[in-house]
Structure 1
Amino acid sequence: MDSEKNKRVSSQRKLKHLQTAGTVYSNVSSGATAYGEEKFHAVRGHGFAAERANTLYDRYTGHDARILGDDNAKNGADRLVDGVEIQSKYCKTGGKCISECFENGQFRYIGSDGKPMQIEVPSDKYESAIQAMQERIRRGEVPGVSDPNEAQQIVRKGHFTYEQAKNIAKAGTVESLTYDAANGMIIASSAFGVTAVITFATSVWNGDTPEIALKNAAYSGLKVGGISFVTAIFAGQLSKAGLNSLLVGSSEAVVRVMGPKTSALLVNAFRQGKNIYGAAAMKSASKLLRGNIITGSASVVILSAGDVVNIFRGRISGKQLFKNVTNTASSVAGGTAGWVGGAAAGAAIGSAVPIIGTAVGGVIGGLAGAFGGGALAGKASSAVMDHFIEDDAEQMCHIIEQELLALTEEHLITQNELKTIVERLGSSLTAKTLKDMYASNDRQTFARKLLLPLFKAVEKERKPIHIPLAEKHGTCIRAIKQQITRT
C-alpha cells in the first residue's frame, strides 16, 4: 500500500513540475510580448500598438504576418504581410500620415524590390490619406509613380481607427482588453500544446499506459492553457498601466551584475533579426527581465487565487495560505530562472550546430531549465516552509488517525480489517475533503462521520457467528471439568 501511495505521490509531483514548466513557458512568451509592447509608453506609442494590433488581426485571418520594425532599420518596413513590406503611420489626420513618409520632398520608404512600400493608415483616415498621396504623386515626389490613381496601391487601409489604436496602448479599455485576450489565445494554445506533449512523453517514460498518459496530457494542457490565457491578459494590463516603469531601477541593477556578454547571450536567444551586443544588449535584457517579472508575478497571483478563496471560506489557515503562495512563487521564479539560463545555454549550443539553430536550441534549453529549476526551487522552498509550518492537511490527518484508533477499539477491528479500512480511506480521502474538514466547526465529529461508513462496510463483510446450542455448552463444560480433575 505504501509503495503504491508513494508512486502516486511521486507521479503527482512530476505532473505538477511539468505544469510549472508549461506555465513558465507561457510566462516567457507573455514576457516577450511585454518586451515588444514597452514601446506603447513612448510619445507615439499608439503607432507601435497599431503595428502589433494589425499584425495580430492578419494572423487571425490566415495571413503570414510578422513585425519587422524592432530591428530599427532606417526607413525600413514595420510589418511584413504575405511578403508585402508595410510602413505603419497612425497620425491624427490622413495628410499627416502621408507627410511623415517624405523627407526633403522625396518619398523615403522604398521596398527591397525598388518600389514604394505600402503605407498603412488608420481606417478612418484612409480617404484623406489617399487624397494627400495623390497630390504628392502629382508633384513628382514618389519615385517611379506618375499616375495619381496608383495612390490606392500605395496607401493601405488599416484594420483599426486612430482612436482604437490609442486605446489599445492604454490599460482598462475595451480595445486593450480585447487585444490582450487575442494575444492570450495564441500564447495559451502554444502553452497547451507544449505542456501536453511533454506530459504525454514523461508519463509514457514513467511506465503509464497510453490512455493514462493521454489523460494526464489533456489535463495538464488544459490547466496550463487556462492559466496562460488569464495571465497574458492580467500581465498585459499591468504593463500598460505602467508597472514596468517602476521596475526599471531593479532590472537594470540585475543586468549590470550579469554583464554585457551574458546579456547578449540571453537577449539574442529571444530576439529576431541581427544579434546585438554591448550596451544595446544590456538595455534590451533589462526590458526582457521587466516583462518576465510582470508575467511571473501575474501567474503567481492567478495560481494562488484558489487559496485566497479558500481562506475567505475558512477552508485553509492563514499559515497554509502563506506557505502555498511562497511555494508557488518559488517554483515559478525558479522555473523562470531555469528557463532563462537554459535558453541562453541552449541558444549558445544551437548557434554552433546548424541543424538545431539558436531559436530551437533556446526553446529546448529553456524547457529543460524551467522543469529542473522549478522542481528544485519548489522542493527547496517546501523543505524550508515545512520546517516552520505544519500543513493544514497534516493536522486534519492527525485528527483522523485519533478517531481511527478510537473506532478500532469500539468496533473490535482486527488487523486485516484495519488494513482494508485504511486502504479504502486512502483512495477516497481528497484535498477537498480535508479542506471541508478544516472548515468544519467540529473536526472530530467530521472525522468520525467520514470513517464510520468504512467501519460499517467492513463489519458487514464479517462471517456470521452462530451461537452453539445449550447441550453443546454443557458437554464442553463437563469435558473441561474432567480435564481439571485429572490434573
Structure 2
Amino acid sequence: MEQILLSKKHRQLLHNVYCPTVEQTIAICEVELEQLEEGQINYLEVPFDQFEQVIAHFNNTDYIKQGAFTYQQVRHIAEAGNIHHLTMNEQGMICFLEETIGMSTALSFAQSKWNGAEREDAVENAVLTGLSIIGESFAEEIIEQQIQFATMSEQIELDEGMLGAIKKNGTKAVVKRMAGSATKKAAYSSIAAKKAITLLNANVVTGAIVTGVMSSVDIVRTIKGQMSPAQLFKNVSKTAASVAGSIGGLIVGGGIGFTIPNVSTAVISLIGGIIGLILGSVVATKLAKKLLDLIIKDDAAKMVEIFNEQLADLSEQYLLNERELQQVLHDFNEIYNMPQEFREMFATNNRAAFARGMIEKELDRIVRQRMYLQVPTNQELYKMIERFV
C-alpha cells in the first residue's frame, strides 16, 4: 500500500536526561549536544529542579528544556514500577524508552490517571504538558509521525482536506500549519486557562498541571488537621502525669510516715512511700500535672512538628493525591502506635531521619498500589492535537 512519506528522515526529537546530580546531568547533556548533526534539532529534557544549574553551564540553552517534575518525583514513580518502559539503573539514572513524547508528557498522563481522570482528560493533560515544555516542535513531531506511518488504506482518519493539502503543499508545510494552529489555540483556550498554566513557558511548568495533585498548602493543612500533638498524646500526657504524681506522692507520703511512733526509720519510710504512691495517684494533678504536662506537650509538639514537616515534603515528592494522603494519615493513626513511635523518635540522634525513614516505608507501599499504565499512543496524542487545530 502507498505510504505518505515525510520530506525528511524521521528523527528522535527528545532525549530525557534524568540523573541524581546536576553534574551527571550536565555530563550527559554535553555528550548529546556534541553528537548533534548540522541543522539537527534535538531537545534535552532535564529535571525541573536541576534546570537552572544545567543551563548556567552552557552557552546555547535553546536545546535544553525544563521538565515538569523534579528528579525525586520521577525517581519515586520509577521505583514503584507501574509505568511501562520507565526504568532506573543502579546509578540512579532514569530512562523512559518511549522518548518521543518525553518524560514529563508520559508522567503527566500517568499522574492524571492515578488521580482519577478519564483517559481522554489524561491524554489532554499529557499534550498540554508536552506543548508547555517544548512548544510547537512537540506538536510537529506528533503530527509528522502520524502522517508518516499512516497508509492510504489504513487512514488514521486523515480527512480529505488534509490529504488534499499534503498533495498540494507538501507534508512539511501542512505539519507546520497544523502544529502552529494547535499550539496557539491550546495556549489561549479556556481548557488551558482552567488548568491555570502558562503554555510555552517552561520556567513556570510544574507537576501542578496534573489533575488532582495537591498544593503544598493543602498538604500541610490536611496533615495538621489529622496529625496533631493534642490528638496523638492526649492519653500519654494523662499517664505521665499520673506516674509523676505518684513519684511526688512518694516524697510527700514519706513525710507522713515519720509521724508514726515506735517504728524504725526504714519501716516508716517504706510505709510512707506506699501511702505516698496511693496519694500521688489520686492527687496527681495537684502534685505534678502542670509541670509534667508542660514537658510532655512540648516534647510531643516538637516530634509531631518534625514528623509533619517530613510528611509534607515527602507527600509532594511522591505526588500524592488527596485520597492517597488520607490513606497514609489513616494508617499512621490507626495501625501505628504513634505515641510509641514518637517516644523512640525523641530518643534518637537524628529525629528527622527517623521520621523520614518511617514515612518513606509507608509511602512506598501506597504508590505501588497505583494502577499499571501504558502511556498514550502517538495516535491518541494526535487526536488530541487535532482538537486544538
Q: TM-score range by the shorter chain?
A: 0.3 to 0.5
Larger Rg: 1
TM-score with structure 2 setting the length? 0.32
Q: Which has the higher helix share?
A: 1
TM-score with structure 1 setting the length? 0.27
Q: Which has the higher contact order (CA 8 A, sep 6+)?
A: 2
